Amino acid sequence: MVSTHPGEVLGATSRGAPVPISETITVTGMTCDHCVRSVRDELTALDGVDGVDVDLASGLVTLHTEAPVDEAAVRAAVQEAGYEVSS
Phi, psi of 13 (to 5 degrees): -80, 175
pLDDT single digits (tens) 17-63: 677 899 999 999 999 999 999 999 999 999 999 999 999 999 999 99
What pTM did the predictor assign?
A: 0.78
CATH level 2 (architecture), domain 21-85:
2-Layer Sandwich (3.30)
Q: Per-residue pLDDT averaged across 54-80, rounded?
A: 96
Q: How far apart are CA 79 and CA 84, in angstroms?
A: 6
Using pLDDT thresholds of 50, 70 and 90, give the confidence band for residue 12: very low
Q: Where are the beta strands (DSSP E) in the chain?
A: 21-28, 49-55, 60-65, 84-85
Q: What is the pLDDT of residue 19?
A: 79
